[in-house]
Structure 1
Amino acid sequence: MDQDQTVTPQFEANGDVRVPAFTLPISRLVSEEAAAAQRLRATVPPVDTTGIDAAPLRRQQINAYMAPSIAKLRETFAVEIEAKTIGGVPVLDVTPSDGGHDPDRVLINLHGGAFTVGWDGVALVETIPMAVLAGMRVVSVDYRMAPEHRHPAAIEDVAAVYAGLLQDYAPGRIGIYGGSAGGVLTAQTAAWLAAHGLPQAGAIGVFGAGGVPFEAGESAYVTGYIDGAFPPPPADGSAPPDITKGYFNGIDADDPSAWPAYHLDVLARFPPTLIITGTRSIDLSPAIYTNSQLIKAGVRSTLIVGESMGHCYYYNLALPEARDAYDAIVAFFRENLN
């Protein structure tokens, strides 16, 4: 479609901007693989979530969707996966099959899935490659989710697993990471540990998320129209649908245990942090804001923004951009878990 070069944004007196329709071309800065993936999206029908309200059904569907990716990952990365319990919480303990992982360092994974789904399909996508690429044991937590549970149930479960691992690992050698809801939960956990008398972890990775709600910044609007993975907030200014199915019901919008990036005193107790997002990701604004706040609080924070990348793009290891992200993640944890 031809672009009308005479059309410009309209700026309203209240600060709103009326954005004209435009065509966004494929970035010339992305890999050929990423460009091909974007062209392929024209053949993919939109996801229809109508009527999918039953938690067990949603969880089954997510796991079925992830199954082909997991099978492919297991062909590429040889791992041992053991279901066990740590601190009274179910976990998956993932290690490289060759047994050559670092005996002194461990990673805790917090899976994505909007605090409602993701166990164990998303968890395996996030842990299988990490265990092999990092050469570390990865413990993925089956934390409590909505609609059955409410905040801070998930953090309590993560803290219990963390306390259990402290029996075998020094806190500075424990890393915590997660994508999407798991990225939010990672930031929440760093705030929780410091506030509840537990020694801080050595480093954290907040991927596809930040320490504030997804809809807090303008990226929710922009990426809603250029990416489509998540719909933009309602045009009438009403609250967007709650994808967490009530997980944060009753929690104050400024609660530091839920949204630590609003509080510099809380962030000041964070360990070194790696944040990963993309220019087409709903979490771009939360990630940028959280990184800026961490730096303001005096914490070492590194922000990686993938050009033209969507939400949790690092899941797709067929993309060079995703492989670059994993290289950065592995290097970050190896450097900071001392």
Structure 2
Amino acid sequence: MDTSTAAKPCFLPDGTVEVPAFALPISDLASPEAAAMQRLRATMPAFDAAGGDTDIAGRRIQINTYMAPQIARLRQEFAVDVARTTIGGIEVLDVTPAGGGRDPDRVLINLHGGAFCVGWDGVALVESIPIAALGNWRVVSVNYRMAPEHRHPAGVEDVAAVYAALLADYAPGRIGIYGGSAGGALTAQAAAWLPAHGLPQAGAVGVFGAGGVPFGAGQSPYVSGHIDASFPPPPADGSAPVDITHGYFDGCDPRDPTAWPGYHLDVMASFPPTLIITGTRAMDLSPAIYTNSQLLKAGVRSTLIVGEGMGHCYHYQLGIPEGRDAVDAILAFFRENLA
């Protein structure tokens, strides 16, 4: 190919860049398994993040049906006990290694993904089963209130209620909180909420597939929308994007520190050690990078892992080395910081 005649970016006076169409190959740094998975996408339908015209009850069924085969594989690979109960008045899944033997002094709180409107309990199980089994930990996954029935701060209030109840049995420094996608954003909200409401800070938090600012912030939603397609890019005409949260943040100030602490250094300074995981093809790449930078600026120990060629919440994919490496990093992070 004669690159001298190839289309080039056009830089406009307002700072916008008009990007020419181009073919993006599979990364030569990706594992063979990840490359094979990427090739499979040619035969897979695009994931409809907004849910189309499906009502929310139907959408929740769709997500759980989609997750069911993965959960079945995880239950085969990892022996865990799953108990449905309540803690602090909130429904939870209490996931522990089968046969006992779990760490008696440490506990993890999982906040499932699902755009603040779906994901219970299919996504919750995908996020909790391998962590409980591989870490020998008790993982408490929270059925926090979601849209369209509820609005922020309902979810983080529920997380705080579960956390406060667990303080009766665990030291705060031995409680970790983590989540993917909406659950990652909710984890950041919890790290801001707890000390602001008279509760001791957790020992460590994991923000995966998200950041402490909205998912649409930064440039990655534009890039990811065209190279990954898990979520559509922002509309080219400048109109408002589809609200995949079904109104969860309606009426919330766009810079409210209880919703988006990443904008506020004073709030970020209260965070415990934080692990952030994203991917180069993920729409959450910009929020993750920005949140990590803000934490470092605030003097907080923050670790950022960016999976090469990986998309949104790639740590769910334990069948590829990149996904297993991410899970191993999560386990090591909590082992070190919940001492």
TM-score relative to the length of structure 2: 0.98
Would you say the 8 A contact 1:96–1:135 is kept in 2? yes
Are 2:43 and 1:43 aligned?
yes
Alignment partner, residue 305 of structure 1: 306
Identity %: 74
Are 2:33 and 1:27 aligned?
no
> Kindly tell me: are residues 2 and 326 of structure 1, through their superposed partners in 2, closer, same or farther at Cα, counting changes over 3 Å?
farther
After TM superposition, the structure 1 = structure 2 runs for residues 103-182 of structure 1, keeping only pairs within 5 Å, are 103-182=104-183
Deviation at 1:3, TM superposition (A): 7.3
Alignment partner, residue 316 of structure 2: 315
Deviation at 1:255, TM superposition (A): 0.3
Deviation at 1:47, TM superposition (A): 3.4
Matched residue type, 2:148:
P
Alignment partner, residue 221 of structure 1: 222
Would you say the 8 A contact 1:3–1:23 is kept in 2? no
Would you say the 8 A contact 2:97–2:132 is kept in 1? yes
* Whole-angstrom distance in 1 between the partners of 2:240 and 2:247: 13
Deviation at 1:7, TM superposition (A): 1.4
Deviation at 1:238, TM superposition (A): 1.2
* Whole-angstrom distance in 2 between the partners of 1:45 and 1:120: 23
> Kindly tell me: are residues 107 and 5 of structure 1, through their superposed partners in 2, closer, same or farther at Cα, counting changes over 3 Å?
farther
Deviation at 1:4, TM superposition (A): 7.5
Would you say the 8 A contact 2:180–2:209 is kept in 1? yes
Would you say the 8 A contact 2:47–2:229 is kept in 1? no
> Kindly tell me: are residues 124 and 4 of structure 1, through their superposed partners in 2, closer, same or farther at Cα, counting changes over 3 Å?
farther
**Tell me, what secondary structure is at the counterpart of 1:103?**
coil
Q: Which runs of 4+ in 1 moved over 6 A?
A: 1-4
Alignment partner, residue 238 of structure 1: 239
**Tell me, what secondary structure is at the counterpart of 1:204?**
strand
Are 2:283 and 1:282 aligned?
yes
Gaps of 5+ in 1: none
Are 2:86 and 1:85 aligned?
yes
Deviation at 1:239, TM superposition (A): 1.3
Indicate the larger mover: 161-170 or 54-63: 54-63
* Whole-angstrom distance in 2 between the partners of 1:50 and 1:271: 38
Are 2:191 and 1:190 aligned?
yes
Deviations 1:30-54 (A, max 9, x none): 00000000101001122353311x1
* Whole-angstrom distance in 2 between the partners of 1:188 and 1:58: 25
**Tell me, what secondary structure is at the counterpart of 2:99?**
coil
Alignment partner, residue 60 of structure 1: 61
* Whole-angstrom distance in 2 between the partners of 1:159 and 1:45: 38
* Whole-angstrom distance in 1 between the partners of 2:101 and 2:65: 31
* Whole-angstrom distance in 2 between the partners of 1:289 and 1:5: 36
> Kindly tell me: are residues 164 and 41 of structure 1, through their superposed partners in 2, closer, same or farther at Cα, counting changes over 3 Å?
same
Matched pairs, number: 337
**Tell me, what secondary structure is at the counterpart of 2:190?**
helix
> Kindly tell me: are residues 5 and 209 of structure 1, through their superposed partners in 2, closer, same or farther at Cα, counting changes over 3 Å?
farther
Gaps of 5+ in 2: none
> Kindly tell me: are residues 233 and 337 of structure 1, through their superposed partners in 2, closer, same or farther at Cα, counting changes over 3 Å?
same
> Kindly tell me: are residues 3 and 232 of structure 1, through their superposed partners in 2, closer, same or farther at Cα, counting changes over 3 Å?
farther
Would you say the 8 A contact 2:47–2:231 is kept in 1? no
* Whole-angstrom distance in 2 between the partners of 1:206 and 1:273: 7
TM-score relative to the length of structure 1: 0.98
* Whole-angstrom distance in 1 between the partners of 2:115 and 2:276: 18
* Whole-angstrom distance in 2 between the partners of 1:288 and 1:140: 26
> Kindly tell me: are residues 133 and 4 of structure 1, through their superposed partners in 2, closer, same or farther at Cα, counting changes over 3 Å?
farther
Matched residue type, 1:37:
M
**Tell me, what secondary structure is at the counterpart of 1:246?**
coil
Would you say the 8 A contact 1:217–1:285 is kept in 2? yes
After TM superposition, the structure 1 = structure 2 runs for residues 205-216 of structure 1, keeping only pairs within 5 Å, are 205-216=206-217
Would you say the 8 A contact 1:110–1:183 is kept in 2? yes
* Whole-angstrom distance in 1 between the partners of 2:298 and 2:181: 23
* Whole-angstrom distance in 2 between the partners of 1:63 and 1:3: 47
Are 2:263 and 1:268 aligned?
no
Alignment partner, residue 11 of structure 2: 11
Matched residue type, 2:11:
F
**Tell me, what secondary structure is at the counterpart of 1:94?**
strand
Deviations 1:259-278 (A, max 9, x none): 00000000000000000000
Would you say the 8 A contact 2:280–2:310 is kept in 1? yes
Alignment partner, residue 76 of structure 1: 77
**Tell me, what secondary structure is at the counterpart of 1:8?**
coil
Would you say the 8 A contact 1:12–1:18 is kept in 2? yes
Matched residue type, 2:32:
E
Deviation at 1:74, TM superposition (A): 0.2
